[in-house]
Amino acid sequence: MDLFVHPDLEAMLVKLYNDSFTIKTYTKIPNVDARPKTFITVHASGGQRRNKILDMPTITVRSWAEDEPTAFKIIQECRALVYATSQIDGYTVYKVQEYSSPVNYPDIDTGIPRYDWTAAIGVRLNRHSEKEDSGYLNK
């Protein structure tokens, strides 16, 4: 039986951004006492599988910075990197569908400048391999 599994797009984008930027990218907001002044967060916020081999997870990317112009520039670069990428970690990116252009959305608790960008990113699923196996699947 052929299994086609969903990639961890959050982890894939964290790697893409960490390889591309001099600032860190996380899936969770760092604690206030250890929080850098400028950083990026990525989290899955929905999406759907289109068919056996195509997945369209929705991802929200946030850029945090000391000032709005810097946060805006970072989110625009995050956006451009996704559009320029045809493969991430061996998965083919076939479509980017924006749900929201970058939005100025300062952190409600701290007032730190932040921009959000949300898009569905279409990826072609690869066949499940033993390397990706959870160890709990009956063979």
Give Cα 94 to chain centroid, integer Å: 15
pLDDT value at position 133?
A: 67
Q: Which two tokens stand for residue 116?
A: 């959000």
DSSP-based three-state secondary structure for 99: strand
Q: How many residues does the chain have?
A: 139
Q: Say how far apart CA 135 and CA 7 lie, in whole Å.
A: 17
Domain ranges of the chain: 4-129
pLDDT value at position 83?
A: 96
Give Cα 20 to chain centroid, integer Å: 13
DSSP-based three-state secondary structure for 103: strand
Instruction: Return per-residue pLDDT of the chain as tens, 139 residues.
Output: 678 888 899 999 999 999 999 999 999 999 888 889 999 999 999 999 888 888 999 999 999 999 999 999 999 999 999 999 999 888 899 899 999 999 999 988 888 999 999 999 999 888 776 556 677 766 6
Among residues 134, 72, 57, the alpha carbon closest in space to that of 103 is found at: 72
Tell me the CATH number of domain 4-129, given options 1.10.150.110, 3.30.2320.50, 3.30.70.1150, 3.30.2000.30: 3.30.2000.30
Do the Cβ atoms of 17 and 42 come closer than 8 Å?
yes
